[in-house]
């Protein structure tokens, strides 16, 4: 063995350390009872018993006035009641992480939810958890869980709460959760694996993968120690699981280049030190203890002391992300406490948590609150980032840098923009909103702004969205005028409507679409085609660069009704037409939407009629023959008469001389206006008497 690598996380976790310290404090004032082994380490328990602690197995052994210490694993709710009834003075050393599970399952019981516990069925921690549940079941692995779910489909849709023993392996928990998510539609899963356990397991996995042999120190009944040995065996062929120094087989380590050493959460530091020193003494100068560059020649005792350094509110700390849940990010600070950052600090701008942070990421934060009772340090990355941003914000006032942020609040006076965690107030006049628009229109939107005022002492920052917007509009306007040409297409937004057309913003410039350019059909108001806020595609008809005026078209040239008509009909074809207007000289009829033809009065019937309404009514649909098409002037002549049978021959009568000037049978050819309406008077038609 040439090199020994000692796991940094080896030894007492916070919960175990806390319970031992509570026991020692209690023993300073006299003997006490421990309900069950305080921790799963016989040597540590013996040392405490030598100071006056006695281990009991049941509340029945308690006498009035006895001082009873509840171990780190916790006890069932009924045990508390029995101890109180027995008159005991209770000192509760239950690990805060385990206490949190008791709270979760008790609430589940009150809500009527079924509880699934993932863990070792006979372990005292699991037994205690079950003592706070209502209906529940315990499963040690995926196989047991799958068999139970297969046989109990009634639970697939039930309200279920899932918790896990704090010392379980991550892989076992993930396998069980994957199955639950697939089968159970109403399950809430709480990741209650202790951060210290998770960290220790990850470190053991890395060590075992890199070492030729591993030594794991821990109690035979310690769940976390058993799991550590199990993990090491999955990645290393040579693993020794021992409780104390005299069980170490040094011969088995000879010839191994690199050996790793780790220990369970209930292993005292002095036992770890004994094993380490024993290995060092045995191989003498052949062993080299690997230590990080930061630790240099730091001894094990010094490393242990480092983890006990106090942390105070306002301290800047560095750590590594070791666990992520839906509500918080857990950080290993290298101390006895666990750092916790709220998940919303990473997601308040809409970013997904999995995209913002990952397990193993280094992270810096500021200490917000230290809870030594629960071993938790509340951290804020946002506050630290905000402090760093102040320098950028102050510089932005001088150099005019454009910054970006999200609008988080609104009021009558303006809006508040979060710029990398710094609150920037933007007055209403600087929001670039129309005067009548509510400030709430900007809520949750990402905006660009310039910082106009900074008062760090008062933590006041003022900005302007309008300045940036105006500058950007000027840039877009110049870009458009530099490249504009007739026929160029733009995607724009309808900004306003008038009786004669619609004004469209094509990217900083407003152009006008005349009402005649909005539709090929007849419309009276632009609002019949578009509304304010509509996004439409337009093209340039003409423009005046000096007067800064642009005329736009909206009608699709390919939708020209006249083109559709000439592609479909020719002279001599019969069309089904709709009468749209009656005049003294004839009737106008729609051949296609946007295309009208004239049926001269002489072509309405095969007999003489006094006026068109004697035969036709607006809205009538009739068949008519196309008798003439003027391609150049877009004129159409129609005839109903041409499709009628000849009128019966009447008895000869003497006709007035004036009737010799009766109009010819040829249909009228008339003018079509720009909006598609046909009009005109037949030059050969005489006014009716």
Burial of 454 (0-12, 13-18, 19+ CB in 10 A): buried
CA–CA separation, 369 vs 288, rounded Å? Answer: 40
What SS3 state is found at 132? coil
CA–CA separation, 6 vs 260, rounded Å? Answer: 6
Identified catalytic residue from 3, 24, 125, 297: 125
Under a CB-based contact definition with an 8 Å cutoff, are residues 552 and 489 in contact? no
The secondary structure of 540-586 as a DSSP string is: EEEEETTTTEEEEE-S-GGG-HHHHHHHH--TT-EEEEEEEEEETTE
Which residues are paired to 316 by β-bridges?
Answer: 366
What SS3 state is found at 309? coil
Buried b (16+ CB within 10 A) or exposed e, 61-94: ebeeebbbbbbbbbbbeebbebbeebebebbebb
Strand pairing of 89-92 and 3-6? unpaired
Under a CB-based contact definition with an 8 Å cutoff, are residues 203 and 175 in contact? no
Under a CB-based contact definition with an 8 Å cutoff, are residues 369 and 378 in contact? yes
Under a CB-based contact definition with an 8 Å cutoff, are residues 166 and 128 in contact? no
What SS3 state is found at 476? helix
CA-CA-CA-CA dihedral for 120, 121, 122, 126, to nearest 10: 80
CA–CA separation, 208 vs 258, rounded Å? Answer: 10
Task: Note if 125 is an active site residue.
Answer: yes
Report the 3 state secondary structure along 632-665.
CCCEEEEECHHHCCCCCCCCCCCCCHHHHHCCCC
CA–CA separation, 328 vs 339, rounded Å? Answer: 10
Which position has the token pair 């399950």?
A: 187
Burial of 435 (0-12, 13-18, 19+ CB in 10 A): exposed
Under a CB-based contact definition with an 8 Å cutoff, are residues 636 and 606 in contact? no
User: Quick one: tokens of 230?
Assistant: 């199990």
Sheet containing 53-56: give its strands across. 53-56, 32-35, 67-70, 89-92
Which contacts of 23-30 are long-range, i.e. CB under 8 A and separated by 24 or more positions? 23/48, 23/53, 23/69, 23/93, 24/48, 24/51, 26/67, 26/69, 26/91, 27/51, 27/52, 27/53, 30/67
Give alpha helix (H) positions in 309-416. 344-347, 353-356, 381-399
Give alpha helix (H) positions in 570-633. none
Neighbours of 335 (CB within 10 A): 18
Tell me which residues are annotated as active site: 125
């Amino acid at each position: 063995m040439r090199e020994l690598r000692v796991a940094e996380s080896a030894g007492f976790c916070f919960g175990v350390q806390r319970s031992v310290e509570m026991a020692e404090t209690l023993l300073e004032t006299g003997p006490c009872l421990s309900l069950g082994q305080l921790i799963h380490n016989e040597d540590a328990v013996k040392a405490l018993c030598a100071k006056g602690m006695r281990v009991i197995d049941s509340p029945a052994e308690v006498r009035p006035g006895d001082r009873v210490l509840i171990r780190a694993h916790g006890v069932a709710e009924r045990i508390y009641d029995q101890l109180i009834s027995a008159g005991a003075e209770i000192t509760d050393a239950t690990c805060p992480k385990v206490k949190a599970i008791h709270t979760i399952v008790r609430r589940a019981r009150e809500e009527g939810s079924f509880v699934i516990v993932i863990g070792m069925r006979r372990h005292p921690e699991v037994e205690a958890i079950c003592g706070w549940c209502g209906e529940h079941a315990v499963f040690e692995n995926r196989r047991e869980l799958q068999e139970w779910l297969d046989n109990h489909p009634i639970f697939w849709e039930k309200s279920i709460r899932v918790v896990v023993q704090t010392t379980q392996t991550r892989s076992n928990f993930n396998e069980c959760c994957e199955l639950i998510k697939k089968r159970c539609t109403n399950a809430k899963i709480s990741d209650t694996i202790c951060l210290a356990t998770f960290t220790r397991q990850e470190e053991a996995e890395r060590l075992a993968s890199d070492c030729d042999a591993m030594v794991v120190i821990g109690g035979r009944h310690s769940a976390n120690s058993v799991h550590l040995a199990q993990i090491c065996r999955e990645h290393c062929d040579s693993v020794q699981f021992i409780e104390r120094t005299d069980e170490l087989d040094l011969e088995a380590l000879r010839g191994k280049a690199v050996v790793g050493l780790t220990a369970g959460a209930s292993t005292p530091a002095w036992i770890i030190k004994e094993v380490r020193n024993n290995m060092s003494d045995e191989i003498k100068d052949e062993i080299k203890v690997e230590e990080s560059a930061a630790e240099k020649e730091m001894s094990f005792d010094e490393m242990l002391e480092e983890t006990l350094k106090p942390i105070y509110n306002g301290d800047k700390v560095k750590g590594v992300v070791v666990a992520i849940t839906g509500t918080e990010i857990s950080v290993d600070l290298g101390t006895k406490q666990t750092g916790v950052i709220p998940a919303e600090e990473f997601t308040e701008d809409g970013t997904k948590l999995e995209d913002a942070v990952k397990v193993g990421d280094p992270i810096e934060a500021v200490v917000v609150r230290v809870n030594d009772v629960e071993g938790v340090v509340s951290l804020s990355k946002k506050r630290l980032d905000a402090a760093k941003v102040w320098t950028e914000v102050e510089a932005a006032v001088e150099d005019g840098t454009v910054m970006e942020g999200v609008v988080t609040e609104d009021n009558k006076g303006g809006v508040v923009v979060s710029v990398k965690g710094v609150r920037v107030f933007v007055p209403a006049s600087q929001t670039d909103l129309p005067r009548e628009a509510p400030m709430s229109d900007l809520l949750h939107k990402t905006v660009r702004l310039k910082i106009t005022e900074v008062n760090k002492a008062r933590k006041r920052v003022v900005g302007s969205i309008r300045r940036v917007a105006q500058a950007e509009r000027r840039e877009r306007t110049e870009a458009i005028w530099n490249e504009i040409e007739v026929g160029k297409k733009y995607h724009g937004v309808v900004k306003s409507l008038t009786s004669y057309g619609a004004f469209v913003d094509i990217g900083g410039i407003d152009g006008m679409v005349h009402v005649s350019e909005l539709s090929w059909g007849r419309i009276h108001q632009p609002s019949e085609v578009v509304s304010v806020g509509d996004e439409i595609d337009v093209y340039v008809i003409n423009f005046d660069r000096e007067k800064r005026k642009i005329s736009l078209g909206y009608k699709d040239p390919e939708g020209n009704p006249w083109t559709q008509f000439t592609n479909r009909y020719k002279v001599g074809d019969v069309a089904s037409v709709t009468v749209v207007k009656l005049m003294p000289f004839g009737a106008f009829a729609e051949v296609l939407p946007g295309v009208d033809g004239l049926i001269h009065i002489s072509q309405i019937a095969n007999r003489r009629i006094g006026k068109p309404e004697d035969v036709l009514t607006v809205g009538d649909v009739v068949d008519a023959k196309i008798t003439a098409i003027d391609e150049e002037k877009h004129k159409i002549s129609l005839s109903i008469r041409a499709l009628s049978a000849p009128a019966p021959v009447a008895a000869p009568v003497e006709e007035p001389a004036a009737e010799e000037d009766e109009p010819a049978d040829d249909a009228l050819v008339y003018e079509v206006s720009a909006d598609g309406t046909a009009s005109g008077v037949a030059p050969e038609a005489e006014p009716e008497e």
